[in-house]
Amino acid sequence: MEGKSSSDNNILTALKGLIIGGTMLVPGVSGGSMAMILGIYDRLISSVSSFMKDKKKNLVFLVIFSMGGILGILLFANPLLQLIERYTMPMLYFFIGAVVGGIPLIIRQSGARRLTWRIAGYVCLGLIFVLALSFLPADLFQTGGTSGPVGILMLFLAGFITAAALVLPGVSVSYLLLLLGLYDKTMSAIGSLHLPFLLPLGIGLILGILLITRALERALSTHPHPSYFIILGFLLGSVAEIFPGIPTGADLFICCAAFAAGVLAILFLSRMELEKQS
């Protein structure tokens, strides 16, 4: 029975990695958001930040999740992007429904028994943080080159900040790179393997992930109420970023159906998560 349970857990982990990988490249949808909605966020954070405490278990989990994520990117990223291009409004309503479907699980994980004004304040704080990103000056980290110390330092800082987008739900990596004025340069550097650009950016990224995951793990365990509800605010802020407007005519019915499908899909996966835990 224990072996069967472990196998079921691995299949569910791979499935969630598949979903997260497939949606990571969708504009406005962050991997952290999907991880939180699917109830795997805490495990990912602790597996990275406390990797040395149980190296074998954490390594197996991260490998299975990563394999699912890579497969999801290869299989679903392009079809999803094409679907969004062709059926923009219904697809975005599906993702909005997925966020709404994940709210009960987030509230359950927070341990909150009732909603209070303080909790509403935490949600508003997270919402304001995500919306405030749109007011950052354009091309904030644009540098004339990467050969000088200042350019290298700016790329290191940009990598550190980008780590927050990878780790925190509700913040899209591609969107943040656009705000920093580094999206095109990063894509070009990856395509040409331009190491003078990628190395300082990558070092900042790795250091940022290690430090931010450790701080998040501590916050989620010692201050669950503010942590989870601020993250909920991040998610709601991401909904505001992708909200396509109110549909009319036949699109209204289609978008409502897509929204309901998103809610039901995440509620189904949340139920599987709860059954696994029990």
Handedness of CA 157, 163, 165, 167 (dihedral sign): negative
Q: CA separation (Å) from 10 to 34, 35, 39, 98?
A: 18, 15, 14, 22
**What token pair was written down for 257?**
């159906």
Q: What is the mean pLDDT of residues 257-276?
A: 82
- Domain boundaries, position 234: 2-277
Q: Which amino acid is at 60?
A: V
- The answer, yes or no, to whether residue 84 has pLDDT greater than 90, is no
3-state SS string over 198-234? HHHHHHHHHHHHHHHHHHHHHHHHHCHHHHHHHHHHH
pLDDT at 140: 57
* Burial (CB count within 10 angstroms: exposed 0-12, middle 13-18, buried 19+), residue 12: buried
Identify whether the C-beta of residue 211 lies closer than 8 Å to the C-beta of residue 166: no
Percent of the chain residues past pLDDT 90, beyond the cut:
14
pLDDT at 275: 65
pLDDT at 144: 47
Number of domains in the chain: 1
Among the residue ranges 121-135, 156-170, 175-189, 234-248, the one predicted with the least confidence is 175-189
Global pTM value: 0.74
Contacts of 42 (CB under 8 A, 6+ apart): 109, 220
| pLDDT tens, position by position, 176-223 | 777 677 777 887 787 788 888 888 888 998 898 888 888 888 888 898
| pLDDT tens, position by position, 95-124 | 888 888 888 888 888 888 787 889 899 999
Q: What is the mean pLDDT of residues 32-40?
A: 81
Tally the C-alpha atoms within 13 A of residue 91's C-alpha that lie toward its C-beta: 15
**What token pair was written down for 134?**
């749109």
